[in-house]
Amino acid sequence: MTARMSHFPEQPPASEVALGWCPYFEDQLAPDEAQLLRMRIATVHRTRLTARSPSGVVRLRLTDGTQTAGFAVGDWVLVDPETDFLFRRLDRRTLLQRPGGGERVPQLIAANVDTLFIVTSCNDEFSPARLERYLALANEAGTTPVVVLTKIDRTTDAEGYLRQTQALQRGLAVVTLNAKTPEAALTLAPWCGAGRTVALVGSSGVGKSTLFNTLAGRSAEHAQATGPVREADAKGRHTTTARSLHATVTGGWVIDTPGMRSLAVGDVSAGLDELFAEIVDLAPRCRFRDCTHACEPGCAVRAAVEAGTLDSARLDRWRKLSEENRNNTAVRTGPRGKRIVKMPSQGR
């Protein structure tokens, strides 16, 4: 695969499909909605929304009482071509959000992200427990997690980090790279092709900004271009706004919002069953249906630990996360009718 480096400065997408439009959204259209523009939310502000289409970025006109907090960067919306009035938002394929406590509504971070790059380094920062929390978050949001192990140039044991990471979830994609080299964009290209949307999460200092600049085709000298840009609003005035939906050098999109960067590990944690599938699979073989795999006789999970086929540290981490999950479940209904499960913001 060859990276198209000509995307800098940012080109508008060639088509809606190149912007991420797919049958999932097409199927939601009523016959009389065919003439409406399909646009993707690029920025969300307190009182205004901007959206992107192959013809450029516009500030949407909103009917009185529209709550911008109900929109996320990456959302698909239908827009009146004559007036730029926002008609309606389409259902999301995936949603990353920070649950609000008590009466507070959840804060929407990014929608329709296909792949969540979970970034960590091949050094002391590496932590299976932290990665598992991010994996639970990605699973819950409906995005495909890919673990990106950076600073491969600083370790002699890249294989070891790779092996430990692959053991964390069945079928998990893991890549190793030096984020500072241009080849990093090629390594990530399989997830960043035309119409694909990605986002980056991870602790401070693991290389997210470096990777973002590589993906968006920005050299270190132009890195400040990731900050606020001046943009003409509907009345022609210039306002400062942080662009949040950026073209990648391989034809995809990378979402970068402040909320994305600080997405706390442990804000969300369903997706645990997908993460700990090997334990879920063993559980029906336990003598008791409600076995907690702690001290019950006839426990197939503990038998697997004794037989050496299941790591006891892994079982400990499963227990800890599941317990937190039970103690902190906020019973609410998610956007797709899914239960949203809240965990305390441990380790923040």
Enumerate the known binding-site residues for GTP: 150-153, 202-210
38 binds, among Zn ion, ligand GTP, none (CB under 5 to 8 A by kind): none
Report 278-317 residues binding Zn ion (CB under 5 A).
286, 291, 293, 299, 301
In the bound state, the residue with its beta carbon closest to ligand GTP is 207
301 binds, among Zn ion, ligand GTP, none (CB under 5 to 8 A by kind): Zn ion
Asked if residues 56 and 12 have their Cβ atoms less than 8 Å apart, the reply is yes
Asked if residues 154 and 181 have their Cβ atoms less than 8 Å apart, the reply is no
Question: What is the DSSP annotation of 121-153?
Answer: ESSTT--HHHHHHHHHHHHHHTPEEEEEEE-GG
Closest separation in Å from C-beta 211 to ligand GTP: 7
Cβ atoms < 10 Å from Cβ of 62: 16
Cα–Cα distance for residue pair 192/117, rounded to 1 Å = 11
Asked if residues 139 and 275 have their Cβ atoms less than 8 Å apart, the reply is yes
Closest separation in Å from C-beta 202 to ligand GTP: 6
Task: Return the number of the residue (93 or 208) whose C-beta is nearest ligand GTP.
Answer: 208
157 binds, among Zn ion, ligand GTP, none (CB under 5 to 8 A by kind): none
Cα–Cα distance for residue pair 95/140, rounded to 1 Å = 9
Task: Give me the residues that bind ligand GTP (CB under 6 A), please.
Answer: 150-151, 153-154, 178-180, 202, 204-210, 261
154 binds, among ligand GTP, Zn ion, none (CB under 5 to 8 A by kind): ligand GTP
Task: Return the number of the residue (97 or 150) whose C-beta is nearest ligand GTP.
Answer: 150
178 binds, among ligand GTP, Zn ion, none (CB under 5 to 8 A by kind): ligand GTP
Cα–Cα distance for residue pair 290/287, rounded to 1 Å = 9
Closest separation in Å from C-beta 264 to ligand GTP: 13
Cβ atoms < 10 Å from Cβ of 220: 11
Residues 6 or more apart from 27 whose CB is under 8 A from it?
none
* Interface with Zn ion (CB under 5 A): 286, 291, 293, 299, 301
